[in-house]
Amino acid sequence: MLFTRPTESQRLALANIRAFAASEIKPLAQQWRQRVLPQAIQLELHQLVAEFGLPGGAIAAAHGGLGLSWTTQALLFEELLKVGAELLATVRTNIVVAHLLLAAPPAVRARYLADVVAGRKIGALMLPQAGAPAEPVVQVRAEGGSQYAYADEVRVENGINSDFVLSAVRTGAGDWWFALFDRDEHGYEVRMRRDGETGAEVLTLRAPLPPGALFGGASFGALLAAARAQEWAHVGMGSVARMQLALDETIAAATTREQFGRPLAAHGLAAARIAELDTLVDAARLMCLRCMALLDAGEPCQTEASLARWFAAEVADDVCRQAPQLLGGDACGPDLQKLAASRALTGVSACS
């Protein structure tokens, strides 16, 4: 897969969203860290972000988007997450929701897509877990000649402040579909549930199955695969943003903080560790951008997106742990012990 340097228009777009994120998003991210944003603030935030092409960057202009490439949208997404990762996971889900709505019936698409792209509505998502038995996340039962949809505390993405939810359902005939449930019309409820050490959003629903809002059918499998690939690739970009932020902060400090009379970055072990961490960040980013390039080409990339998500999450833990160690009391964290052992063995100090 061929990758090129950002174009001049991409660099300008990235500079604009970087400045916007620093001035508008960062203060909110610090104020609401590890807390759920009130819906009014989240909607206001979504509408501000929408002006920079998220979540509708890769949506065609005919549907209210900017007609950008998936690659450009991903780079914008990374910049945004560097300052507001916890606040803006909803934007990631809305990207997937918006593209699923492109396949919805015209009346449904007209009612919801433009508002999602403009940040006026927030969509939630309930997909079958990859690799799990093919059980629907929403159960459909016949009652009094009508079809009813049921969900009992099913995990949902983006649910707390959502206006509607897109869910995978399976009808009595055994066919898989996507169904749209409107919060006001169908009255679903979402709450936070403690799930181990993390909070999980869970949705409860009992509502008539909306036949006019069903879509997918024969194309359900392809739509599901595309939605998973889009979601996983953007989750990977979220990990990349987290790593890059930690590394940027470390590099900035390592060029000014001194040890043994020199900046930390002038020490061989510290310099080598910075390069190693940057390589991990860049590798994860390239794996995610490969997925975006495949999406731009209209090619399936569920496997590549799964690998990108896994690798980015795996190395993010290492990078975010090791980067701050460079700024600790030791010149290079645990590596100073290697220097001490070498000095004892050779009688020569590598720190002088």
- pLDDT tens digits, residue range 35-80? 777 888 888 888 989 999 899 999 999 999 999 999 999 999 999 8
Q: Residue 265 pLDDT > 80, yes or no?
A: no
- The answer on 229 and 188 residing in a single domain is no
Predicted confidence at residue 195, as pLDDT, reads 60
pLDDT confidence of 182, banded at 50, 70, 90? very high
User: 128-181, pLDDT tens digit by residue?
Assistant: 877 654 566 788 888 877 888 999 888 898 898 999 999 998 877 778 889 999
- The answer on 326 and 230 residing in a single domain is yes
Predicted confidence at residue 3, as pLDDT, reads 64
Answer yes or no: is 88 within a domain. yes
Predicted confidence at residue 118, as pLDDT, reads 95
At 41, list the tokens.
């603030």
Domain boundary among 159, 181, 209: 209
Cβ 305 vs Cβ 289: under 8 Å: no
In angstroms, what CA-CA distances link 213 with 43, 81, 104, 136, 177? 24, 32, 7, 17, 10
- The answer on 302 and 265 residing in a single domain is yes
Q: Residue 338 pLDDT > 80, yes or no?
A: no
Question: What is the domain range of residue 287?
Answer: 222-345
CA dist 321 and 309 (Å) reads: 19
Answer yes or no: is 3 within a domain. no
Answer yes or no: is 33 within a domain. yes
At 34, list the tokens.
């590890």
Q: Residue 99 pLDDT > 70, yes or no?
A: yes
Angle at 108 between CA 221 and CA 43, to 5 degrees: 100
Q: Which of 42-46, 53-57, 208-212, 222-226 has the lowest mean pLDDT?
A: 208-212
pLDDT confidence of 331, banded at 50, 70, 90? very low
- The answer on 129 and 68 residing in a single domain is no
User: 6-31, pLDDT tens digit by residue?
Assistant: 888 889 999 999 999 888 888 887 78
Answer yes or no: is 351 within a domain. no
CATH number assigned to the domain comprising residue 201: 2.40.110
- The answer on 21 and 85 residing in a single domain is yes
- The answer on 226 and 177 residing in a single domain is no
- The answer on 170 and 97 residing in a single domain is no
Mean pLDDT of 268-272: 80
Domain boundary among 105, 121, 137: 121
User: 101-126, pLDDT tens digit by residue?
Assistant: 999 999 999 999 999 999 999 999 99
Answer yes or no: is 350 within a domain. no
Predicted confidence at residue 348, as pLDDT, reads 87
**What's the pTM?**
0.87
- The answer on 80 and 31 residing in a single domain is yes
Answer yes or no: is 42 within a domain. yes
Cβ 51 vs Cβ 112: under 8 Å: no
- The answer on 191 and 154 residing in a single domain is yes
Smallest Cα–Cα separation from 114: which of 63, 47, 66, 164? 63
Q: Quote the number of domains for the chain.
A: 3
Q: Residue 334 pLDDT > 80, yes or no?
A: no
Domain boundary among 92, 121, 150: 121
Highest mean pLDDT among 107-116, 189-198, 212-221, 323-332: 107-116
Residue, of 195 and 320, whose pLDDT is higher: 320
In angstroms, what CA-CA distances link 329 with 49, 80, 89, 94, 325? 40, 32, 35, 43, 8
At 220, list the tokens.
């359900």
Q: What is the 3-state secondary structure (H, E, C) of the chain?
A: CCCCCCCHHHHHHHHHHHHHHHHHHHHHHHHCCCCCCCHHHHHHHHHHHHCCCCCCCCCCHHHCCCCCCHHHHHHHHHHHHHHHCCCCHHHHHHHHHHHHHCCCCHHHHHHHHHHHHCCCCCEEEECCCCCCCCCCCEEEEEECCEEEEEEEEEECECCCCCCEEEEEEECCCCCEEEEEEEHHHHCCEEEEEEECCEEEEEEEEEEECCHHHEEEHHHHHHHHHHHHHHHHHHHHHHHHHHHHHHHHHHHHHHCCCEECCEEHHHCHHHHHHHHHHHHHHHHHHHHHHHHHHHHHCCCCCHHHHHHHHHHHHHHHHHHHHHHHHCCCCCCCCCHHHHHHHHHHHHCCCCCC
